[in-house]
């Protein structure tokens, strides 16, 4: 199984649990057409990992998706006030 698909099934250290995600998902703005996009959780976990560790975006682990995509989501949501104080 490819690592990108394994992330959806396994919770990594610091990643959101299913219960946490179910609460958070309803509070987030839509990523595009729908917030139900299956990769949204992986991107949010990627943003959280990067903020937690403080590493450059380019060093984001592959499991969270392309760093440019995760950074783009972070920047869009930061401008909209979704990530205040980050």
Question: In tens digits, what is the pLDDT along the chain, a chain of 86 residues?
Answer: 334 434 444 446 778 888 888 887 777 766 555 545 567 888 889 998 998 899 999 999 999 999 999 999 899 888 888 777 55
Burial class (CB in 10 A: 0-12, 13-18, 19+), 83: middle
31 vs 42, 75, 82, CA distance in Å?
12, 12, 12
- What is the rounded CA–CA span in Å between residue 70 and residue 56? 12
């Amino acid at each position: 199984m490819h690592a990108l698909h394994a992330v959806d099934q396994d919770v990594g250290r610091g990643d959101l649990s299913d219960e946490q995600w179910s609460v958070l998902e309803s509070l987030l703005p839509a990523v595009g057409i729908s917030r139900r996009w299956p990769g949204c959780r992986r991107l949010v976990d990627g943003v959280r990992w990067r903020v937690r560790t403080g590493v450059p975006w380019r060093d984001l682990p592959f499991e969270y998706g392309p760093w440019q995509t995760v950074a783009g989501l972070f920047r869009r949501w930061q401008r909209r006030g979704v990530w205040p104080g980050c």
